[in-house]
């Protein structure tokens, strides 16, 4: 019986492809085959990307499935042309995300216990920053998570300890930090001046996600809905991101636009039925290797919740590793996406449309 169900599952395993790649028919204004970069090969994937400016993009390339031998390249866009103008010495470890200061200094925050890495604007000098795990979008401020709390640093040519604190650290901007203290989310300046606070669910029930998005507003996910709130927790607007798990979210420098990069698994009705039957026949064991097969990049206006950009793609299950492969420019006018070995840049419309 189990063998029959397994065969049935395979027979029904044809996924319905044709998931719209861009329902708004927005075409890229520039593209680049990443294998053309000095550090790129046909086996390299864009592990993370970020805008240095509206016309310059940083791309971290890593060999597929490797945590080491990564390299960083800087690309400049001139009209519809993308060209590399700087590249790092390779062999640093895979990072979690790229942070770029207005002066062009680049910080790559780490996975696990590997150190953060700081680059000069021309990538000529690198420096490791042990302990720094989280950083502001610019990389000018960073935090170390300790056994009893956290340490806050100002990052420049040298890293300077600003202060230490207790509680569950959430996020940092160049001016503001957010951390949860019991059932209270506290918002303070880097130096410790209280800016606001509000009640939240206990951490054991919900890991409340909070990011400062500008000088007086926060991105707030309380496990039920996502909204923009002031420093006292009062709702300003509600945001409706794509379905699936959230790999990354980034916002323009003024906080007016936010980018969501979400991954999900979408299969046909027939395959889903086959997997349900297989789960029943194996007493809940099921297929056991369900993996994502689609990605959606969505940009929303943080004041209205209107949609500014909606891009989707499908891919074979298990063929895409976790990566920060989408970014929004400082002005909020451009989006870059690295998919299938191609980096594409899109120019967003001036006016966003209301979600249906």
Residue 44 backbone phi and psi in degrees, to 5: -90, 150
In a domain, 213, yes or no: yes
Determine the structural domain holding residue 332 and report its residue range.
2-347
pLDDT at position 56 is 96
In a domain, 352, yes or no: no
335 CB-side CA count, 13 A:
28
In a domain, 240, yes or no: yes
Each of the 356 residues of the chain gets a pLDDT tens digit; together they read 444 444 434 333 333 333 444 444 589 999 999 888 866 666 566 778 999 999 999 998 877 667 777 888 999 999 999 999 988 766 677 777 899 999 999 999 987 778 898 999 999 888 888 889 999 999 999 999 999 999 999 998 778 999 999 999 999 999 999 999 999 999 999 999 999 999 999 999 999 999 999 999 999 999 999 999 999 999 999 999 888 877 778 999 999 999 999 888 775 454 444 444 444 444 454 445 667 778 899 999 999 999 999 999 887 776 555 567 899 999 999 999 998 888 999 999 999 987 65
In a domain, 353, yes or no: no
User: How far from 110 is each of 36, 83, 129, 354, CA to CA, in Å?
Assistant: 26, 27, 10, 37
In a domain, 354, yes or no: no
Domain count across the chain: 1
Q: Which two tokens stand for residue 180?
A: 């949860």
The continuous run of DSSP H or E covering 260 comes out as strand 257-264
pLDDT at position 45 is 65
pLDDT at position 7 is 40
Q: What's the first-to-final CA gap in the chain, in angstroms?
A: 46
In a domain, 43, yes or no: yes
29 in helix, strand or coil?
Answer: coil
* Domain at 292, CATH number: 2.130.10.10
pLDDT at position 82 is 95
Buried b or exposed e, range 207-223, using 16+ CB within 10 angstroms:
ebbbbbbbeebbbbbbe
CA 281 to chain centroid: 38
CA distance 154 to 201: 30
331 in helix, strand or coil?
Answer: coil
pLDDT at position 257 is 97
In a domain, 42, yes or no: yes
Nearest to 213 by CA among 236, 194, 197, 191: 236
In a domain, 356, yes or no: no
Beta partners for residue 347, in sequence order:
334
Q: Which two tokens stand for residue 199?
A: 């009640």
């Amino acid at each position: 019986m189990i063998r029959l169900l397994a065969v049935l599952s395979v027979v029904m395993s044809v996924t319905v492809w044709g998931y719209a790649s861009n329902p708004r028919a927005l075409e890229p204004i520039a593209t680049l085959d990443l294998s053309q970069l000095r550090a790129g090969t046909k086996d390299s994937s864009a592990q993370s990307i970020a805008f240095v400016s509206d016309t310059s993009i940083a791309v971290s390339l890593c060999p597929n499935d490797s945590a080491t031998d990564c390299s960083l390249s800087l690309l400049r866009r001139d009209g519809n042309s993308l060209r590399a103008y700087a590249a790092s010495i390779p062999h640093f470890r895979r990072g979690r995300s790229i942070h770029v200061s207005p002066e062009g200094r680049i910080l790559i925050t780490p996975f696990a216990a590997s150190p953060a890495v700081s680059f000069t604007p021309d990538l000529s000098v690198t420096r490791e920053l042990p302990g720094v795990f989280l950083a502001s979008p610019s990389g000018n401020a960073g935090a170390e998570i300790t056994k009893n709390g956290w340490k806050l640093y100002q990052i420049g040519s040298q890293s300077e300890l600003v202060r230490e604190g207790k509680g569950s650290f959430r996020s940092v901007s160049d001016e503001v930090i957010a951390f949860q203290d019991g059932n209270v989310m506290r918002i303070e300046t880097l130096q410790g001046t209280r800016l606001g606070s509000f009640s939240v669910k206990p951490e054991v029930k919900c890991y409340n996600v909070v990011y400062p998005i500008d000088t007086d507003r926060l991105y707030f996910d309380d496990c039920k809905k996502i909204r923009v709130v002031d420093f006292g927790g009062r709702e300003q607007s509600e945001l409706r991101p794509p379905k699936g798990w959230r790999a990354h979210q980034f916002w323009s420098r003024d906080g007016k636009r936010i980018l969501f990069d979400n991954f999900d698994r979408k299969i046909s009705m027939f395959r889903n039925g086959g997997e349900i039957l297989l789960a029943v026949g194996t007493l809940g064991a099921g297929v056991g290797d369900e993996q994502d097969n689609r990605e959606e990049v969505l940009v929303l206006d943080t004041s209205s919740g209107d949609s500014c950009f909606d891009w989707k793609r499908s891919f074979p299950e298990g063929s895409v590793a976790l990566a920060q492969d989408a970014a929004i420019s400082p002005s909020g006018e451009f989006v870059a996406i690295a998919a299938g070995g191609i980096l594409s840049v899109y120019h967003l419309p001036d006016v966003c449309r209301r979600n249906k």
